[in-house]
A and B are shown apart, each in its own frame.
Chain A
Amino acid sequence: MASDLSGNVNPTLIKAFVKSTKNVFNTMVGIEIELGKPDIKIDPTPSYDVSGIVGFSGDVAGSVVVSFCNDTAVSLVESFCGEKLRSDSEDFVDAIGELCNMIAGNAKKEFGLTANIGIPTVIIGHNHTVARLRDVPCITIPCSCTAGHFAVEINIKQVIFAAV
């Protein structure tokens, strides 16, 4: 999908999330992830119904959303925690938040910048929306595995500080 904002995308930041997503699921969940071609996402609604959101600050601003199909999330959380959890339980929300926290934190180390991540937030429900930075596009990376589908939606930019 074409966009006049596409030139603002920093490939280093996107590549960091590709590497991080594979690493987190492989190490903590024991599942190999297939990542599709990144694309620009205009719709503010995350791709699926279970979304973990982590904000960035410091040299990087914005957020990453890891959005799961409900059944995929339930299956991945079962592999991660070693027990089946209902998607309306506190432990399920905690597990999704922790997976997103690790994806964001692991990507951050690849940025080569001084960035901080916030405490993860999890939203579950149909058609929820996530506020985004307007001056950079949201890049979505479709992901699939034996548990089903999810997407990593990256809306971040490097902050340029003006010289004083």
Chain B
Amino acid sequence: MKVLLVDDSRTMRNIWKKVITTINNSEAVEAGDGLEGLKAVKEQGPFHLMLVDWNMPNMDGLTMVKKVRETNKTTPIIMVTTEAEKPRIIEAIKAGVNNYVVKPFTPETLLEKIDETLKKVPQPA
């Protein structure tokens, strides 16, 4: 499973990566903001899953998700963010996010959300 991790914090990407590597045959590709994320989608895709932070410099995660969804309606996207207010969660879901994890989180919570998301969304071959 090829997973795109988009967060401006390398610390957070490392934490996500540790969780991802517990899943069999997983490979993580990292991006430091929404612009790098879009570049990775174009040059290193397709991905089976994307984890995207909201608040990032250059291009935020919500904008990135909207741009991804212009051409790709199927790849599951989980937003992992400190933005926890209900209107923000609704905004993210309207933009095309499949699931939502609020920071702080435990590795178990993130793994559960990944599992839940992958079960709901049909995967590419």
Please, what's the 1-or-0 string for A15-54, where 1 marks a CB less than 8 Å from any CB in chain B? 0000000011001100000000000000000000000000
Residues of A within 8 A of B (CB): 23-24, 27-28, 80-82, 90-91, 94-95, 97-98, 101-102, 104-106, 108-109, 114, 117, 119
Please, what's the 1-or-0 string for B6-36, where 1 marks a CB less than 8 Å from any CB in chain A? 0011111011001000000000000000000
A-B contact pairs, 16 of them (CB 8 A): A28-B104, A28-B105, A82-B18, A95-B9, A95-B11, A98-B9, A101-B82, A101-B103, A102-B82, A102-B104, A105-B103, A106-B103, A108-B84, A114-B85, A117-B82, A119-B57
Specify which chain B residues have a CB less than 8 angstroms from the CB of A114 in the assembled complex. 85, 87
**In the assembled complex, B81 has its CB within 8 A of some CB on chain A:** yes
Once A105-B83, A106-B82 are accepted as A-B contacts, the answer to whether A81 and B11 lie under 8 Å apart by CB is yes
How near does chain B come to A146, taking the closest CB pair, in angstroms? Answer: 19
Provide the main secondary structure of the chain A interface. helix
| A101 & B11 in contact (Cβ 8 Å cutoff) | no
How near does chain A come to B61, taking the closest CB pair, in angstroms? Answer: 13
Residues of B within 8 A of A (CB): 8-12, 14-15, 18, 55-57, 81-85, 87, 102-106
Specify which chain B residues have a CB less than 8 angstroms from the CB of A101 in the assembled complex. 9, 55, 82, 103
CA–CA, A84 and B8, complex, Å: 21
| A105 & B57 in contact (Cβ 8 Å cutoff) | no
CA–CA, A80 and B15, complex, Å: 9
A-B pairs with beta carbons under 8 A, tally: 59
| B8 & A109 in contact (Cβ 8 Å cutoff) | no
How near does chain A come to B90, taking the closest CB pair, in angstroms? Answer: 13
CA–CA, A102 and B81, complex, Å: 9
CA–CA, A69 and B9, complex, Å: 22
Starting from the known contacts A109-B85, A117-B55, A119-B57, 12 additional A-B residue pairs (CB-CB under 8 Å) come to A24-B104, A27-B105, A82-B14, A94-B11, A104-B82, A105-B82, A105-B84, A108-B85, A109-B84, A114-B85, A114-B87, A117-B82
Specify which chain A residues have a CB less than 8 angstroms from the CB of B102 in the assembled complex. 106, 109
CA–CA, A114 and B83, complex, Å: 11
Minimum CB distance partner of A92 in chain B: B11
How near does chain B come to A134, taking the closest CB pair, in angstroms? Answer: 27
CA–CA, A117 and B60, complex, Å: 13
| A27 & B104 in contact (Cβ 8 Å cutoff) | yes
Once A108-B82, A109-B84, A117-B82 are accepted as A-B contacts, the answer to whether A23 and B104 lie under 8 Å apart by CB is yes
Once A105-B83, A105-B84 are accepted as A-B contacts, the answer to whether A97 and B55 lie under 8 Å apart by CB is no
| B14 & A81 in contact (Cβ 8 Å cutoff) | yes
Specify which chain B residues have a CB less than 8 angstroms from the CB of A102 in the assembled complex. 82, 103-104
CA–CA, A39 and B10, complex, Å: 34
